[in-house]
Chain A
């Protein structure tokens, strides 16, 4: 991977973070923490890894990204508009009555595959899509983005068993391991460790990366594409609220939008 492309993606990530904060302030509600932690994952997937056509969102051979943590609409919509799926101006309608930019992801938005918002649904669905790809001899990949708190849901582990049993090597789960859930630290509420071993013992190929390091993410996704006979999970170590120091690792910013003053403060320190 050439350095300039990595730099360009980094620039995009910073632009997306700014837009996420502005979009949340305009909406007056929403989920900053888990959006900011997943920015690089979106930038790398849509910017480099996934085959997709913004002007043809339902292109049959596209790689699919399933947003299982359906509350991270700020980053989802900012990324989709940023990559050309719909005009950026529409972001001002986010969470407003009559807008297709619903509070949780909805497939009426170009680029969104599947409505979610109740946690623990995306992986089973992704397995179904991946199974369909195998039956139709299609080569597309299915990426499923989940939260760390989300995988406390038992349904995730039902799906984890199925993907391994059916050897769905076209499934790539991504855990946005930002360490914080609604009411505090994941480790204190109900810890996930040893997380890599859990997935590994379920029969998955496990890759752990710094989820804010673009080069590492690219390498992880490239490695996934070469795996035969088993699904892959990328455990992306991230920081909830990444980029705004006063939001980082603060569960208070899981589901609260910044007001005008907080937005101004955030943009001053955004990195």
Chain B
């Protein structure tokens, strides 16, 4: 039952428009990328509650904080690179330190942005968002989950960062699959190793699991859609059940999902861990597929990491 891959920005943007129609407290503040982020769907649905500030990300976050302080649910949007890096001080001070009901919707995350190259490919956002107190960090696995993430972050008060893709991602969940902030979903189970992945890398992990199955290696695949608060119970269960963990993310190795998982394991239940991600490098121009291969973010790389971690477990 192959379904057409869809960018997670699409599902999120469509659902945000629905939520806006149903909830007059939702406002969107924008910095001239609403077409690309799909916030324009909200703009069409609720023009009176949509504000663009031009190309001014710092101003966008500050104004959203002001709106949130007056009991609006303030949704901001931009490319991940600009939203997080350009406005970091505003996110830290205005949103997190003041603990206001501001949502950061970041699209175009990771190398799969493609031809625009390194300046547009955000590979550090999970790291710099998850270190901020009061911030919660979500990375939906597919367009269906992105819709549920939209519901969840509007329903729950306080700061949220949502990482979305520009490129189409395989649909790997169902309409009725659960989505609970902070509660990871097991996609398949196995006893030899566990792959904990987020976003685009979950489908690569599932591909890797199928390949390994053919080699009589049975792995668990976990969709860690919430990077913060982290589902430590699931991580510890992976370690206890399989004794070997591989993490996979379209992000720098430093500071992201792999680091977060390692922080839990080293303190509670140390087992061998291998990490798949970008190794201290900027991206570059290319097709998404070329870039995923170049930066070793494909299922074949996850397969190699699983073999390596199992060898370490046995040694």
Q: Give chain B's interface residues, CB within 8 Å of chain A.
A: 27, 29, 49, 51, 53-54, 56, 58-59, 61-72, 74, 89-90, 92-94, 97-98
Docked pose: A125 CA to B64 CA in angstroms: 7
Give every chain B residue within 8 A of A93 (Cβ-Cβ). none
Docked pose: A116 CA to B92 CA in angstroms: 11
Interface centre among B62, B71, B74, B93 (most CB of A within 10 A): B62
Q: Are A136's CB and B70's CB within 8 A?
A: yes
A162 at the interface (CB under 8 A from B): yes
Q: Which of A115, A128, A159 contacts B93 (CB 8 A)?
A: A115
Give every chain A residue within 8 A of B61 (Cβ-Cβ). 124
Q: Give chain A's interface residues, CB within 8 Å of chain B.
A: 107, 113-118, 120-121, 123-133, 135-136, 154-155, 158-159, 161-162, 166
Contact sample, A vs B, 18 pairs, CB 8 Å cutoff: A113-B69, A114-B69, A114-B98, A116-B93, A124-B61, A124-B63, A124-B65, A124-B94, A125-B66, A128-B69, A128-B70, A130-B66, A132-B69, A132-B72, A133-B70, A159-B59, A159-B62, A162-B54
Q: Are B93's CB and A162's CB within 8 A?
A: no
Interface centre among A125, A126, A136 (most CB of B within 10 A): A125
- Beyond the given A120-B58, A128-B68, A132-B70, could you list 9 further A-B residue pairs with CB under 8 A, ordered by the A residue number? A115-B93, A123-B62, A124-B94, A125-B63, A125-B69, A127-B62, A127-B63, A154-B58, A162-B54
Q: Are B56's CB and A131's CB within 8 A?
A: no
Q: Which of B56, B63, B89, B97 contacts A128 (CB 8 A)?
A: B63
Q: Are B51's CB and A131's CB within 8 A?
A: yes
Q: Are B63's CB and A131's CB within 8 A?
A: yes
Docked pose: A159 CA to B56 CA in angstroms: 9
Docked pose: A60 CA to B27 CA in angstroms: 20
Distance of A162 from chain B, by nearest CB (Å): 5
Give every chain B residue within 8 A of A155 (Cβ-Cβ). 58-59, 62, 90
Docked pose: A179 CA to B29 CA in angstroms: 35
Distance of A94 from chain B, by nearest CB (Å): 19
- 6 A-B pairs with least C-beta separation: A128-B66, A124-B62, A132-B70, A158-B59, A128-B63, A158-B56
Give every chain B residue within 8 A of A166 (Cβ-Cβ). 51
Give every chain A residue within 8 A of B72 (Cβ-Cβ). 132, 135
Q: Are A128's CB and B54's CB within 8 A?
A: no
Q: Are B67's CB and A131's CB within 8 A?
A: yes
Give every chain B residue within 8 A of A124 (Cβ-Cβ). 58-59, 61-63, 65-66, 90, 94
